[in-house]
Amino acid sequence: MGHVIGIDLGTTYSCMAYLIGESAKVIPNLEGAPTTPSMVSFTSSGETLIGNLAMRQAVTNPENTLFAIKRLIGRKYNSPEVSETRRRMPYKIAEAPNGDILIEVGSQLITPQEISAKILGYLKSCAASYFGEEVKDAVVTVPAHFDDHQRQATKDAGTIAGLNVLRVINEPTAASLAYGLNLKKAGAVAVFDLGGGTFDITILEINNGVFHVLATNGDSYLGGEDFDRRIVDWLLEEFRKDHKIDISPDKYALQRIKEAAERAKRELSFTQETEINLPFIGSDAVGSKHLRKSLSRSLLEELTKDLVEKSIPLMRLAIEESGLKLEAIEDVILVGGQTRMPLVRKRVAEFFQKEPNDKLNPDESVAMGAAIQSGILRGELNELVLLLDVTSLSLGIETENNGFEKIIDKNTTIPTKRTKPFTTVEHDQRRVRIHVLQGENHHASENTSLAMFDLVGISPAPAGVPEIDVTFEIDADGIVKVSARDISSGREQKILIQPSSGLSREELNNIVVREREKEAKETTSNGKKGLL
């Protein structure tokens, strides 16, 4: 049986691991590093560079070096989050005919799924090199607050990369597996996950190998990228004050400043002050101008305090929805690189009234947990490990006057099955439309549409008399089945919700075929020449 790898496909960095015995081990990339920058760069010579090689292109080739793609995957072009990203990124983001996102690279238009697939494909090749054999199967993690479109888009990226994605699981849940696999005592745990692009807070109970998620909350658009941006904005404003020059339209200068901001942020996790020195960053009629500024930890905290505070009400809500008291939380696990920031650690400690657990590497624990999940799926762990996860968002249907009726509430343990009765709004109504939605807003139009189908042949009756039972069922893989049944006539209509990432099955298959043909061509051109 071949190896199965666990992959943490991160906004800023990605990591992979595998299960050996009853513990997980990180797989290094081809350069020997435990993590890989989630970056892809397309060069003028036609090369595609991934990871550190792509990162080195960021300043000299900003328009064709793609990063933070995780913030775009599975989203619509006109969403508020994408509108903000478009304004900030050096690369061009376009709208697809169906309202999804395309990335402009030269004359090409590429989907976020294809970009993510290139990162996953690189990790797959690193694992193959490590094991000395091809790797086909993987468990891939996503933020707990990803909706079904984003989850399916991530799974599609795996398919394009030639991976069989056995399961897509929540990042905080994966981290809890890495933390508690060999934990002998029972107790409640909070997982605070602040990565490069997303934030999640998950409350769960661990007891004799059973990992029971009680509640999860978060913000799929809050992460280290936002902290970096605050430093970038401060530097641009300081340069404007000093030299009366606005260099924000200069993509090359902007990328240099972004890299310096990221570096300064990391340094300020270990020191009280750092210097940012960027010579020849701009010019005017007099000559070249240099950017040289000292940034203190206290100023960084002042610039980003509101970002840290955004996590507090989400943590409070997760505790409330878990049904536990704050004092019942026995341990707090920090996940994601941004949790290295002292202010983040301080506010988490203040909220939970205890110091967070620092035994896990925040960059590696999610991938290790994904590897453990692969062992659970394949029955490779000697002791019973049962993972009971929850729905991160509510599921329901649209009702009259743009209403949204929840049928399965968020934080419901899966698998689950729920039924609710509905009726007609017009006399002798013979047909009803079932519009399946996901979200928390009481207005249907403000939630995510997953599917729509009609139940026809309802028995004629006055409005409000017919009873139409709508049933939602979610299995352990998160696949949703919806059915509607007219009690009087017995007529029933069912649908399997396999949320689209925006790629139709035909489009996905075409991309997969194209990638396999490209790989075959590269293998042929790079292989040994045959004898005549």
**Would you list the domain boundaries of the chain?**
4-222+310-388, 224-306, 395-497
In angstroms, the CA 125 to CA 3 distance is 13
Q: Is 213:388 a contact under the CB 8 Å cutoff? A: yes
**What confidence score (pLDDT) does residue 392 get?**
85
CATH superfamily assigned to domain 224-306: ATPase, substrate binding domain, subdomain 4 (3.90.640.10)
**What confidence score (pLDDT) does residue 184 get?**
66
User: Residues with Cβ < 8 Å from 5, sequence gap 6 or more?
Assistant: 16, 17, 18, 27, 123, 124, 127, 135, 137, 138, 139, 370, 371, 374
Predicted confidence pLDDT, tens digits, the chain (532 residues): 689 999 999 999 999 999 998 889 999 999 999 999 999 999 998 899 999 999 999 999 999 999 999 999 999 999 888 998 888 899 999 999 988 999 999 889 999 999 999 999 999 999 999 999 999 999 999 998 888 888 889 999 999 999 999 999 999 999 999 998 777 678 999 999 999 999 999 999 998 888 999 999 999 889 999 999 999 999 999 999 999 999 999 999 999 999 999 999 999 999 999 999 999 999 888 889 999 999 999 999 999 999 999 999 999 999 999 999 999 999 999 999 999 999 999 999 999 999 999 888 999 999 999 999 998 888 887 566 788 888 888 999 999 999 999 999 999 998 899 999 999 999 999 999 999 999 999 999 999 888 889 999 898 999 999 999 999 998 876 778 999 999 988 999 988 776 555 677 778 788 888 877 776 776 555 544 333 3
Neighbours of 30 (CB within 10 A): 14
Looking at domain 395-497, its CATH architecture is Sandwich (2.60)
In angstroms, the CA 202 to CA 170 distance is 10
**What confidence score (pLDDT) does residue 379 get?**
83
For 295, the token pair is 């940034």
For 502, the token pair is 């925006």
Q: Is 206:329 a contact under the CB 8 Å cutoff? A: no
**What confidence score (pLDDT) does residue 514 get?**
82
Q: Strand order in 403-408's β-sheet? A: 403-408, 395-399, 431-438, 448-456
**What confidence score (pLDDT) does residue 382 get?**
58
pTM: 0.89
In angstroms, the CA 106 to CA 507 distance is 21
CA 415 to chain CA centroid, Å, is 22
In angstroms, the CA 215 to CA 314 distance is 11
Q: Is the preceding peptide bond at 415 cis, omega within 30 degrees of 0?
A: yes
Residues tagged active-site:
8, 70, 171, 193
For 253, the token pair is 């200068």
CATH superfamily assigned to domain 4-222+310-388: ATPase, nucleotide binding domain (3.30.420.40)
